[in-house]
Amino acid sequence: MKVQVILLALGARDRWCADGAALLAAHARVSPEAVARADDLAEQALRPGAPALAALFAAADAAYVVGCSRPRAAQALLDFAGVPWRGRTVEWVALPFDREALKREYGVPWYPVIDRARCTGCGTCHDYCLFSVYEQTGKGDPSGRVRVAAPLNCKTGCPACARLCPAGALIFPFCHEAELNGEIAVPARRSADELAAVLGDDPMRVLAERRRQKRPPLIDPAKFEQAEKDRVTYSGVV
């Protein structure tokens, strides 16, 4: 089976600690010249159909070795772009990257992507976001029919919705926090049923009440308080 080796860069601020192409080539036992590159993955994913990305995974009979800094983030971006990589044989290789670079400056564009392997379609992100970033077609749908409908409505630097996702399914690839940028898998904090029991039919009302009480049940208080701070800091909405 033919092997195709691909190096993905999430964006201009996605910086490796060493020569990514050389590391990936050594892992796949090919020459560095044989490594295909896709730069600015987050930018390309915003283009309808993402033709350049789709072309990289066009060979159904090939095996792929794909290297990037944060595989979960790259996978979610490819899903967002509609690239059919999940129907391919893919080995993902996590390459060492400069974490401090993410702290020094934000990546552009800033928007969330959904880990489809974890999303339960509970709608917490849709209900919490004030800027219509998300669209929901059916609450509790196991297919995860919540989507990022207006990514650039998101306020740069605000990952508030990701802090409250009960399944840890939301990823901000250019957030410097390991729990939110796809670097590690976040343990699910509570079930959709537990969350529904707490939020009821009017999540925004309940969340507003919690903000006044400062004692949100079930939702981790520290994460909730940080989410509220993020929303105020980056959106200006109190």
* pLDDT bracket for residue 216 (50, 70, 90): very low
Residues 79 and 121 in one domain: no
Domains held by the chain: number? 2
In a domain, 199, yes or no: yes
State the pTM of this model.
Answer: 0.78
In a domain, 156, yes or no: yes
Q: Which of 51, 79, 102 is the C-terminal boundary of a domain?
A: 102
CATH code of 193's domain: 3.30.70.20
Contact 72, 182 (CB under 8 A): yes
In a domain, 108, yes or no: no
Mode of pairing for the β-strands spanning 63-68 and 3-8: parallel
In a domain, 198, yes or no: yes
pLDDT tens figures, 93-103: 999 998 888 88
Residues 173 and 229 in one domain: yes
How much is the mean pLDDT over the chain? 83
| 3-class state of residue 94 by DSSP | strand
For residue 156, give the amino acid letter: T
pLDDT tens figures, 51-75: 999 999 999 899 999 999 999 999 9
Does 109 sit behind a cis peptide bond, omega within 30 degrees of 0 on the bond before it?
Answer: yes
pLDDT the model gives residue 207: 54
CA atoms within 13 A on the CB side of 62: 14
In a domain, 166, yes or no: yes
Residues 64 and 26 in one domain: yes
Residue 48 is part of which domain span? 3-102
CA distances from 233 to 101, 156, 164, 172, 203 (A): 22, 10, 17, 17, 21
CA distances from 132 to 122, 127, 235 (A): 16, 9, 13
CA dist 79 and 171 (Å) reads: 12
Residues 118 and 158 in one domain: yes
